Structure 1
Amino acid sequence: MYKHEGQLIHQEHDEHGAIEIVETDGVRALHFGTDPRQSSMFMNAPDQLHSKYVRAMMAWLLFKEQPGNVLMIGVGGGLLSKYLLYQFPHCQIKAVEFRQAIVKIARRFFALPLDPRLKVKIADGAHYIKQQSQKMLEQHDLIIIDAFDDAGMADTMQGLNLFSACKTLLTDNGLLVINLWGTNKELFRQLSLEMGAVFNGRVLFLP
């Protein structure tokens, strides 16, 4: 077990590894047995966004005022899903999470609501995207990928085929938002080239 600063209030293991909830100075955080926070929440303002990277992922608002049909890959603590529900009453969210235990944690410790506008599916995110792109039953005006394990961005959430499948699932003016935290320089360069190729150079990177 990683020795965290703060108070460890919950710990469990599933078949994919450790899950820990730690509270420090009024902030509750989700860890996967390592130091990096997977999600974090203000205890006195649970509907606000605490993590800087999550706030950065909301930069899509510069291009689209109202999300309608949203696909989220990776639930984590559910903070982004909860924020979208709170801020945009008319949006519909489909969230895909690989680990059932994480969804239970999000509901128990991070106040992820049971809301008819939010549908959660337990599945591999990359497989789900590729499967749905072949069926073409619906498209989304916003796709958010924030899928990580204890080492960084999940390996399955990378590659030219995945980005092409995402493009297929987007409406004509749809946006794809991806958290690339933890990628090394060479992988970042590779992903940048692949995204640029798929989206005809219309890619914006935030530090």
Structure 2
Amino acid sequence: MTTKRKSPQAAQPLPEVTISDFDGARYLHLGTPWVQGSMRIKKPFDIDLEYVQRMMAWLLLVDWPTVPERRAMQLGLGAAAATKFCAQKLGMASTTAIELNPQVITVCRQWFKLPPDSDKLQVVLGDAGVEIQKPQYLQTVDALQVDLYDHEAAAPVLDSPDFYQHCRNLLTEDGCMTVNLFGRTNSFARSLAHIQEAFGPEAVWRFAATKEGNTVVLAQRMASRPSRELLSQRADQVQQQTGLPALKWLKVFKPVQPVAA
């Protein structure tokens, strides 16, 4: 196997991980006051933050009965909200999270109810940009969630067309990637263009920004355009089964229109 150049993620110094509790929630910080993840202390397997809930919008593009057979991967563990939700609440066949900072993994296990590794859950300590190029992962992931911000939360650490092409290579034929982007920064348009370059202009969807400025973008390996009726049916089932506000998503979730040549 050829030696690959180190990912930009590995060049970043690892910040100190801290936690804080406020009003029934526990927050994860990476050396700054910025919130990098959260958990409702009395509901540790629910998803607290709105943008992380929206990272589950891939559920709108698959049939609900197939969810337990599917495989999920998270790039960036955060407070383990997406990882726990896929493994525990959705009961998916396998969930793999890739995290660069060993402190994050330790803190999630001690303070955020992240279960130990098992045959259905694996947390990998490694550089996501390198790890996802390993052959064992290719075309095995049905739901890929990408949330790779550094401690300053200024722009994604991994954000090139090549990176998004590697993400696409992970996906099964009807697999989806969801990415957290800050929709009110200059980097958003560039990130969206890179995703469209890798996935194709017809394969990309987006949410409106949350009040905090997070914009979740979804990209399919193979583009589809379900009818609003079908999306509504799926959203209703997702909401009933998981408690996620999926019906509200339909008001702020739409395909990205290809840019005219």
Secondary structure at the aligned position of 1:76 is classed as coil
CA distance in 1, matches of 2:102, 2:155: 16
Report how many residues are paired: 189
* 1:153 CA drift (Å): 6.0
TM-score relative to the length of structure 2: 0.68
Confirm whether residue 190 of structure 1 aligns to residue 187 of structure 2.
no
Corresponding residue to 1:63 among 61, 64, 84: 61
**Partner of residue 118, structure 1:** 121
Give the alignment of 1:168-179 within 5 angstroms: 168-179=169-180
CA displacement 1:105-163 (0-9 Å, x = unmatched): 0000000001411111111111212x22xx36542111111122211166541100011
TM-score relative to the length of structure 1: 0.84
Is the CA contact 1:84–1:91 (under 8 Å) kept in the aligned structure 2? no
* 1:200 CA drift (Å): 1.5
Is the CA contact 2:34–2:152 (under 8 Å) kept in the aligned structure 1? no
Between Structure 1 and Structure 2, the one with more strand by share is 1
Letter in 2 for 1:128: E
* 1:165 CA drift (Å): 1.1
Letter in 1 for 2:31: G
Corresponding residue to 1:29 among 27, 30, 43: 27
Letter in 2 for 1:16: L
CA distance in 2, matches of 1:48, 1:126: 28
Is the CA contact 2:77–2:105 (under 8 Å) kept in the aligned structure 1? yes
Secondary structure at the aligned position of 1:171 is classed as strand
**Partner of residue 7, structure 2:** none
Secondary structure at the aligned position of 1:205 is classed as strand
CA displacement 1:22-72 (0-9 Å, x = unmatched): 000111100112222111111111111111111111111111231612121
Relative contact order: is structure 1 or structure 2 higher (C-alpha 8 Å, sep ≥ 6)? 2
Q: Which structure 2 residue ranges, 5 or more long, are not aligned?
A: 1-12, 210-261
Q: Which structure 1 residue ranges, 5 or more long, are not aligned?
A: 1-14
**Partner of residue 39, structure 1:** 37
Change (3 A) 1:18 1:95: same
- Displaced runs of 4+ in structure 1, greater than 6 A? none
CA distance in 2, matches of 1:123, 1:182: 27
Q: CA RMSD in A?
A: 1.9
Is the CA contact 2:138–2:169 (under 8 Å) kept in the aligned structure 1? no
**Partner of residue 158, structure 1:** 159
**Partner of residue 84, structure 1:** 86
Is the CA contact 1:153–1:183 (under 8 Å) kept in the aligned structure 2? no
CA distance in 1, matches of 2:39, 2:84: 11
Is the CA contact 2:74–2:96 (under 8 Å) kept in the aligned structure 1? yes
CA distance in 2, matches of 1:83, 1:63: 18
Change (3 A) 1:188 1:74: same
